[in-house]
Copies of this chain bind each other. A is one copy, B any other.
Amino acid sequence: MTDTPDPIRPEARAPRGFADRRGPEVAQERRIVRQVSEVYERWGFEALETGAFEYADALGKFLPDADRPNEGVFALQDDDEQWMALRYDHTAPLARFAAQSWETLPKPYRRYAFGPVWRNEKPGPGRFREFVQCDADTVGSDRPEADAEIIAMACEGLQAAGLAEGQAVVRVSNRKLFDGLFEAGGITDPIQRLTALRAIDKFDRLGWEGVAQLLGEGRLDDSGDYTKGANLPLGVASTIEAFLGSASEGTRAETLDAIARSGGLGAAGEAALEELAGIDRALTAMRVDQVTVRFDPTIVRGLEYYTGAVFEAELLLDTTDDKGRPVRFGSIGGGGRYDDLVARFTGQSTPATGFSFGVSRLASALRAAGRAGEVARGPVVVIVFSQDDMQSYLDAVSELRAAGIAAELYLGRAGMKAQMKYADRRNAPAAVMLGGDEIAAGQVTIKDLDAGRAAAAGLADNEAWKAARPGQQTVARADLVSTIRAIIEASSTI
């Protein structure tokens, strides 16, 4: 180790909001993506990968100032002066791709995609500026079966990723229900509608009382912040109260009836109920039960984007945080019907529907629920004693690998004790020792590091267990692979 001459050194740190992820975490997220992809492909969805950048106008964000990067996205000017930005979801790139390739695509076009998306927002604990999303969408079908298929497939995907039955529920509603409520109540101002929708979106958190204030004059919250209200007429607010009150834990058909009875839905609302009835028929034909997918009028989701059905997937896991307090995981993803996104490019209305979930968020939920799946094992570590016996070490490593067992030679310059510590940090199931005496005798010494870990964790307190896991044993060199395999198999059943 020598000092470099240059005294000006950059600090080794990742930009704020960007995480480094190591082996086990990476393995878990890859497994989720692989399992979900298998389901999506079995349902006839084709993989699509678009580039990280889209032109800013294609992303549909308003550029307030041509000299300034976009709010909320990572944007920069290309050398031809055009603004481009990293994608902030997979839907905008899909809409651009579908519009661009429409003539050559099989229609309807089913595609799935996963990969990082980027948000230029204030990072915080557990809040990243880059995270992996996994999406599936059908473009070019206005059928309720298309919505139902997306919902049913999302449920199967989440289960394939490790969620047990009953650990997730998808709640479904329809954006047009609100269009109908506003229309029938004479609310035409788009800003007033948006303010009201944002208020209703908080029903889950604030309850009716808080929402009522936000639909009326406004609301002062506990921290003293005042939020201006939508100033809806009292009559409209009470129609909305009845509408939200029609939520129930009944069957989908019962919920539809309750919504219809709440009244004041107008023409758009009645059409929305028809669409939901079609989705219900398709879900039932797909044998999707009444508990996994519910109708719920309190779902708002994706205010500016959706034009019909909206879905929200909620985790029902009982988990605890670092301090042992119960944690509700809440929303893991969602989606809905967006019939106008492709039309932004083509001018032709093109029906589309999709579902998206956060892969890291699902991964951490599964970890918290103890359903993360098999822990990735470290490699078997072959200890280095002498440069002269390198051939024996390398042969052992290569024999283990040929048997499908991850294995490596220690490549540092440290002594025996440090090598054992290294093997332990690598989460190695075993360390292989080929000293000069062992090589001469045609033997090998194998240290069962899993047994050591189990003993340390108090799992090895009976004599039978100790007899079965001797900790360290010297066996014939020919028995190397079978001995290691026995250790790995014994550990997987602890």
Contacts and interface: CB of A to CB of B under 8 A. Distances in A.
Interface of A: 1-4, 6, 9-16, 18-23, 26-27, 30, 41-44, 46-55, 57-58, 60, 69, 74-78, 80, 82, 84, 86, 96-97, 99-101, 106-108, 110, 116, 118, 130, 138, 140-143, 145-146, 149, 281-282, 285-287, 340, 343-350, 378-379, 381, 390-391, 394, 398, 401, 404-413, 422, 425-426
A42 B404 contact: yes
28 contacts: A4-B349, A10-B60, A10-B344, A11-B57, A11-B345, A13-B96, A14-B96, A14-B100, A15-B55, A20-B51, A21-B50, A22-B46, A22-B48, A23-B46, A27-B47, A42-B379, A42-B405, A43-B401, A43-B407, A44-B381, A51-B130, A52-B52, A69-B76, A106-B426, A140-B412, A143-B413, A145-B411, A285-B391
A411 B13 contact: no
Given A2-B349, A9-B347, A20-B51, 9 more contacts: A1-B348, A11-B345, A15-B82, A15-B84, A18-B51, A23-B47, A110-B408, A281-B390, A282-B394
A101 B22 CA distance: 11
Nearest to A39: B401
Contacts of A346: 9, 12
Given A75-B76, A107-B412, A406-B42, A50 B20 contact: yes
A138 B27 CA distance: 20
A3 to B, nearest CB: 6
Nearest to A382: B44
A317 B84 CA distance: 38
A82 to B, nearest CB: 8
A412 B412 CA distance: 62
Contacts of A54: 14-15
A420 to B, nearest CB: 12
Given A75-B76, A106-B425, A10 B47 contact: no
Nearest to A412: B108
A121 to B, nearest CB: 10
Contact of A411 (B50, B69, B74, B141): B141
B343 A4 contact: yes
Contacts of A82: 15
Contacts of A149: 409, 411
Nearest to A82: B15
Contacts of A69: 76-77
Given A412-B141, A425-B106, A49 B21 contact: yes
Nearest to A74: B76
Nearest to A408: B44
Contact of A55 (B10, B116, B118, B381): B10
A331 B13 CA distance: 33
Given A43-B401, A422-B107, A99 B12 contact: yes
Contact of A50 (B6, B14, B23): B14
A411 B143 contact: yes
B345 A96 contact: no
A230 to B, nearest CB: 25
A44 B110 contact: no
A74 B348 CA distance: 34
Contacts of A44: 378-379, 381, 406-408, 426
Contacts of A116: 52
Contacts of A343: 4
Contacts of A412: 107-108, 140-141, 143
A101 B20 contact: yes
